Amino acid sequence: MTATLVIGPYSDSDRDALNAGFDPVLVGGPSEVAALDESTRAGIRAVAFKGHHPFGAAEMDLLPALGLVANYGVGYDAIDVDAANARGIKVTNTPDVLNDDVADIAVGMLLMQMREMEHASAWARSGEWKAKGEYRLNRKMSGGTVGIVGLGRIGREIANRLAAFKMDIHYYARSEKDTPGWTYHADPVALAGAVDTLVVALVGGKDTENFVSAEMIDALGPRGVIANISRGTTIDEAAMLDALETGRIAGAALDVFLGEPNIDPRFYALPNVVIQPHQGSGTVETRAAMGQLQRDNVAAFHAGAELLTPVN
């Protein structure tokens, strides 16, 4: 009898590797766990989890022998870690292997937003360049002032890249970090008021819900641009939409949204918003590395070895 349950929408290559390594039971989402027969559920010791649907106390209690939930992704806010702690269940994630790709997307989205690259491409493709002449002037990114909200692994990679664009780096974190002279703000509203561009790189979860508040958005001001590569929950989305629609901020570059992929249709009417389909880590190389790290954690657990990337 298998000791591993695989939950989520895995690629063919990841599913093949999981099958080869663990001969698991596979289900599409947490809601399908209850449909497994009792003897199967009783034998499950490890879960390989992928997705954004909640995996919490109710699902854990259906798996009485469960000792590990190995998450596919650095963000593990879908997993109730407090419930796992109460049941002696370890949780792992897949950090570091996706830092570069997510940081690259953040910089790319900012360039798209400020240099209006999507609109300029459409201008050229449609024949308007030939018919009407040069595309309108847009906004310089290099040399600006940027605030990083959350200077963890990914936030630091973003800051390093933007420093190469000669940008003045400011940041908010729970404590001051060792940096090459970047400006620390203990107050996130003060950070927003000091910069032109705000990049949100927080972890998801209840502790960071609406962290980027209406007050922060207003402090950013009418030239301000917000980029978000964290979770849709970290920004007061309604307040951001209101500010975008009324010109109280200049624009946004977003890879994550509330309720994705069913995002608020108000975004589609805003030409000053770059929209990406939550693809920050979406390269072949990085997704393969994420899958491998998840499987390595599952294998270590079954072997009684030290977990590679525990979060609790």
Give the catalytic positions in this structure.
231, 260, 278
Token representation of residue 209: 């819900």
C-alpha 255 chain-centroid distance: 8
Token representation of residue 68: 């590990």
Q: How far apart are CA 204 and CA 184, in angstroms?
A: 22
For tokens 């990841």, the residue is 14
End-to-end CA distance of the chain: 28
Which of 201, 165, 167 shows the shortest CA–CA distance to 182?
167
Give the strands of the sheet with 4-7, arranged side by side: 25-27, 4-7, 46-49, 68-71, 90-92
Q: How far apart are CA 204 and CA 233, in angstroms?
A: 7
- In three-state secondary structure terms, 28 is coil
Task: Quote the DSSP letter at residue 97.
Answer: T
* Contact between residue 148 and residue 158 where contact means Cβ atoms under 8 Å apart: yes
Amino acid identity, position 11 = S
Where do the DSSP E strands lie in 137-269?
145-149, 168-172, 183-184, 197-200, 225-228, 251-254
Task: Quote the DSSP letter at residue 186.
Answer: S
- In three-state secondary structure terms, 297 is helix
> Using omega within 30 degrees of 0 as the cis cutoff, is the peptide bond preceding 54 cis?
no
